[in-house]
Structure 1
């Protein structure tokens, strides 16, 4: 089987290709607008918005894993979310039709549910609160329409929560770095629960879907259980790091006001700032999602959430790093 990973030069894609190369004998190609720092030998530089290029590159392909997306909170102009996430999906589906490709795995997001939902499963109402979530849902709708005309094909949609792991420089890394530094400022009471997914588990679930799900249309939330509260996370980091980590609590309203101030500064300076009102809202929100459907497939996560956090903390903050280590900038 020939597998085309579209958007495989980034954080999740790199780990996925590594996992597939270790566990399968399938032929792999990576299509990305950036060169892969680890797998240049199988990478072709192309943009998902280039229909002709995608048409040509999917020749002879049996299965597509679509990872390419605009996903940061600070993408500008906002239309890029829809250009890449929605039109990109349309282009890939057109190329699949042209080349007779019948299988696709698509990484969507729990962002389609919106904030502060009560442990939604895959059947819960869709209510995205930002352009990223809206564009991911629009891409899913294109897949629904495509499958309705291609019932002989196979669609697997993965809606992961925030993904973290070694080499990632996203929100979870920044949070772990702040906590481990001992200069962490807790907005709210710290009792809100956060869902997370360790990259090693996410890519192995994708591999499981590739190897075991070849019929029908399925959507899966992916979250490593059980979720932890912010207070629990601080305590876990303290244990792994072997040091006492104090945390100061600030009222939510004060944190949100500060976020709006940073929004204003970003708008007048044109600079991307580490703090924003959206990030404060996301930080203080309960993010609980039902992942029981994924667990009923027979897949067993390779790591517990605690193990994934410990592996990340050890790699990033306890082991000796070299200055030229490859890192991935994400949310």
Structure 2
């Protein structure tokens, strides 16, 4: 029995769909029941050791997808409570229940604003609490695996930004703005972005469930890496039939707007879709390399086709019913 911790979310729902299609038994362990697979759900919180231990009885492998990941989490202590203390609780439970395999979804956020082409051996330099706590969680899981390296399997997967149907994160917000005709390019648009399609990430996690004892770390990226000008232009053409980028704002102006919304959020307590950190992330290069290329894994969906599928589902067809998932 596979235990998918945090399996009610975006990646978890896709992973469970793949496991179900392969007739593999799984339990979704989450603080909220799965909207897509409620019959497989067990309610537990990674912050609650007692409920977690009860939920993971009989597990042969744990996939940990649970995380606080948004840029605007409040209070900020939730990053440590969920990402770090949650990792400690999962390791305690794995020891007690003799579970020897853990797959952990970390993030390329552990590298911070990384040099182009950063691989799994890149310098760890997170710039926010999310990246920091993901790295701290990685060290906790590494310590667990090192206690019995010949028996325990730890796979750390560091995805770049994940997109796909039903996601309501930053990529969706970008596509929605393009579809509405209100999109404004910020910066020169030459910065490159590594992206990951949710179905491919889920397929890779499923692939790693067969790994034997050892420690494995992989960035997850779907190639090629598009620069923002190319990405926006191709999406705009598919959605509106128009070519070109439209109005462009200099980066400094976009940052000023972002800082203004930061101040407004601090004063009002409200959350806004625009912030200085999101402007910085939009304008930054985030292009990574991955050693997955050295494995036999082949992503089921090519990146260009994945973007087209997402655009078709979200903005051309009517798929307004069904669950949606909110993330960065």
Task: Tell me the equivalent position of 2:31.
Answer: 33
Contact kept in structure 2, 1:182 and 1:247, CA below 8 Å? no
Task: Tell me the equivalent position of 1:52.
Answer: 50
Contact kept in structure 2, 1:183 and 1:247, CA below 8 Å? no
Residue 180 of structure 1: CA displacement?
2.0
**Superposition map of 1:1-331 within 5 A:** 2-23=1-22, 25-151=23-149, 152-211=151-210, 213-241=211-239, 243-244=241-242, 246-291=245-290, 293-322=291-320, 324-331=321-328
Distance 1:320 1:131 in 2: 37
Distance 2:201 2:53 in 1: 28
1:150-176 superposed Cα distances (whole Å, 9 cap, x missing partner): 212000000000000000000000001
1:58-107 superposed Cα distances (whole Å, 9 cap, x missing partner): 11110000000000000011111011000000000000000000001000
Contact kept in structure 2, 1:106 and 1:157, CA below 8 Å? yes
Q: For residue 14 of structure 1, give the secondary structure of its aligned residue in structure 2.
A: helix
Residue 119 of structure 1: CA displacement?
1.5
Residue 116 of structure 1: CA displacement?
4.2
Distance 1:294 1:215 in 2: 18
Gaps of 5+ in 2: none
Distance 1:111 1:218 in 2: 18
Distance 2:53 2:319 in 1: 41
Distance 2:95 2:52 in 1: 12
Residue 117 of structure 1: CA displacement?
2.1
Say what the alpha-carbon RMSD is for the aligned residues.
Answer: 1.1
1:164-216 superposed Cα distances (whole Å, 9 cap, x missing partner): 000000000000111122221111011111111000110000111113x1221
Contact kept in structure 1, 2:2 and 2:59, CA below 8 Å? yes
What's the TM-score once normalised by structure 1's chain length? 0.96
How many residues align structurally? 326
Distance 1:195 1:248 in 2: 24
1:223-261 superposed Cα distances (whole Å, 9 cap, x missing partner): 111110111012211332251154211111111111111
Q: For residue 247 of structure 1, give the secondary structure of its aligned residue in structure 2.
A: coil
Contact kept in structure 2, 1:163 and 1:198, CA below 8 Å? yes
1:102-132 superposed Cα distances (whole Å, 9 cap, x missing partner): 0010000000000142211111110000000
Q: State which drifts further: 66-75 or 242-251.
A: 242-251
Gaps of 5+ in 1: none
Contact kept in structure 2, 1:116 and 1:285, CA below 8 Å? no
What's the TM-score once normalised by structure 2's chain length? 0.97
Distance 1:91 1:14 in 2: 23
Q: For residue 185 of structure 2, give the secondary structure of its aligned residue in structure 1.
A: strand
Q: For residue 50 of structure 2, give the secondary structure of its aligned residue in structure 1.
A: helix
Residue 26 of structure 1: CA displacement?
2.6
Residue 281 of structure 1: CA displacement?
0.4
Q: State which drifts further: 217-226 or 111-120.
A: 111-120
Distance 2:184 2:146 in 1: 49
Q: For residue 3 of structure 2, give the secondary structure of its aligned residue in structure 1.
A: strand
Q: State which drifts further: 68-77 or 48-57.
A: 48-57
Q: For residue 163 of structure 1, give the secondary structure of its aligned residue in structure 2.
A: strand
Q: For residue 219 of structure 2, give the secondary structure of its aligned residue in structure 1.
A: strand
